Structure 1
Amino acid sequence: AKELLTVMALAEYGSFVAAAAYLKTSQPALTRTVKRVERVLGVTLFARNTRRVEITSAGREFVAVAERILNDLQLTVRSMSEVTNEQRGKITISTFSAFASHTMPDLVRQYRETRPSMEVRIREGRQSEIVEDVRTGVADFGIGYVNTLPDILQSDMLRREPLYAVIPLSHPMGAKKRPRVRLAELRDEALVSPPSETYLRRLIDGAAAAAGFTLRYSVTVERLLSVINHVRAGVGIGILPAGVLPHQPWVGIHAAMLVEPSLSVSVGLITSRGRYLTPAASSMMALISGEIGGAVKT
């Protein structure tokens, strides 16, 4: 940048003395800088005579390019400052559809109130997809189950969510609106469930196996929100974390806390160990932690 400014100043003032005074440097230092640029480029930028310095055609072309470069550099510096100050840029969050639907809208609104030019991208997926997004750097951070994570990831606990049996109102248990349901009472019921390889399904199946029975799954869906819609339609009963449940009053369903055993999942922020987090991503994580619960490093 120094060399570019030197050539541009000499082109504007047409005098080594005047250009040196403008740049607050000595005339010999300015002359050395111009000669060094000419030597590197292999062209003569200025024709010198005893009375005046005249710019050559090559010099005029170089100055035009130099002006564009310096202008682009100033824009880049300004852009970097805006990114550092969280006024421009993008953050990517990977989480469950339920969290994206129920919890994130208010958080994103709060976040963008002071950062209107920030772009927030939310990727929705299953636990394995959230973990993969964070591991590969596709997402700045994730929000998911933190009970079991690979060693390369770390977590900040947000909240513990108990599991509920979600029952159609047309079912006798739903009609009675019981506050609690034992897992054993569901052993012969038609269940709507996420896939067998998901963490939630393994947790439920493990509890049933420990109690000496197996559960009967009738419908398997990819998203937890789809479980609720199938339950509402009377297809069967679902077992879901509290965070997936719609806001009350519930329509067409009843949710009873699962007991004997009581099961829960731990939801938290997921980041990659040692990976740099932008100020914008760090601020969003702090907002989520403050709104949802105190974060404890695990």
Structure 2
Amino acid sequence: MLKGPLPATDQLLSALTVARLGSFTRAAQELELSQPALSRQVMGLERTLGVKLFDRVGRAVRLTAMGEELVQRAGPLLEELGRVTSNLSAASGANAGRVRLGASESVAVNSLPSILRPYLMANRRVNLRLVCRTSERLPEMVASGELDMAVCAVEYDPPGLSTRRLWDEELVLVLPVSHPSRSRSIASYLHEDFILLPSTTVTRRLLDRGLAEHDFDLRVVLEHDSPEVIKAMVLAGLGLAILPEPTVRKETRRGELAAWPLTDLKVTRSIVALSDPRRQPWPAEAALLEA
């Protein structure tokens, strides 16, 4: 029989989040708490347990031996408690709980709003936290437990994660509406300046592979990791771009930019949902995958 007060679940969650992120500042941001409030939660837990959980050296935070013990034992218990609560809510006919969803900027801006609106209308008790990161970073965040799932472009299926293919996006040529050419051949634009995503991104690597297969060489004068910035540069007349079609759909409908697929350069990227197969998805997460 246990004696003495038990730790509060919010205190445990605070400590586990600090341990996972290695930072009080980032943990406070994720939990949507002020940093003093988070510190009080952790200190309260340390008082309840009678042990020190963290060593603070400057801005760095390291787990003590007792802190490591807490993470190993309490982490799975807290996750299971959340799953039980969510399952009970689902059994009563209402999904509930918190879902941490990651997405790349272009997916979040251009595709997620139409998906999330009906999902949130049907699941009013779900607290959805959307985190925007690059497609390169998101698989790591799912694998580490920082995110429950992510929607992004992939070049290959990330090892250790479950991958569900959602849709494909074709890369299209993007140019000002005033541009004199209406050619749909990339060979007609090899003398032009191009503004592209960085070579470290999934989309750029797919594009470079397609260009290499046809022995095309573009003159890249500017790189940026934001499609929104690239579109602004094209509008300003700094060059042409090649981007996923959904990224420029609004601008082409409004007549602000011209965009079309290329007949001699067919490149598509796959948008997938990533999750960790080692953990059982909560009902609210499963419902989102079906949205």
Match in the other structure for 2:213: 210
Match in the other structure for 1:261: 265
Post-superposition offset of 1:217: 1.1
Q: 1:107 to 1:160 in 2, by over 3 A?
A: closer
Post-superposition offset of 1:87: 4.1
CA distance, structure 2, for counterparts of residue 79 and residue 138 of structure 1 = 19
Post-superposition offset of 1:191: 0.9
1:55-108 CA deviation, whole Å, 9 max, x = no partner? xxxxxxxxxxxxxxxxxxxxxx87873376554321111112122122222322
Mapped contact 1:205–1:214 kept (Cα < 8 A)? no
TM-score, normalization by structure 2:
0.64
CA distance, structure 1, for counterparts of residue 216 and residue 106 of structure 2 = 29
Q: 2:277 aligns with which of 253, 273, 277?
A: 273
Matched, 1:225 2:233: no
Matched, 1:285 2:289: yes
Post-superposition offset of 1:205: 1.7
Match in the other structure for 1:193: 196
Mapped contact 1:94–1:139 kept (Cα < 8 A)? yes
CA distance, structure 1, for counterparts of residue 254 and residue 175 of structure 2 = 11
Q: 1:132 aligns with which of 113, 122, 140?
A: 140
Secondary structure of 1:118's counterpart equals: strand
Which has more radius of gyration? 1
Give the counterpart letter for 2:242 in structure 1: I
Give the 4+ runs in structure 1 shifted more than 6 A.
Answer: 77-80
CA distance, structure 1, for counterparts of residue 130 and residue 106 of structure 2 = 12
Mapped contact 2:87–2:283 kept (Cα < 8 A)? no
Q: How does 1:137-148 map to 2 (within 5 A)?
A: 137-148=145-156
Matched, 1:82 2:89: yes
Q: 1:87 to 1:205 in 2, by over 3 A?
A: closer
Match in the other structure for 2:64: none
Q: 1:170 to 1:138 in 2, by over 3 A?
A: same
Structure 2 unaligned spans of 5+: 2-83
CA distance, structure 1, for counterparts of residue 210 and residue 85 of structure 2 = 56
RMSD: 2.5
Matched, 1:93 2:97: no
Match in the other structure for 1:245: 248
Give the counterpart letter for 1:183 in structure 2: I
Secondary structure of 1:245's counterpart equals: helix
Matched, 1:169 2:177: yes
Q: How does 1:34-113 map to 2 (within 5 A)?
A: 81-82=88-89, 86-113=94-121
Post-superposition offset of 1:283: 0.3
Q: 1:115 aligns with which of 123, 145, 152?
A: 123
Mapped contact 2:86–2:284 kept (Cα < 8 A)? no
TM-score, normalization by structure 1:
0.63
Residues paired across the two proteins, number? 208
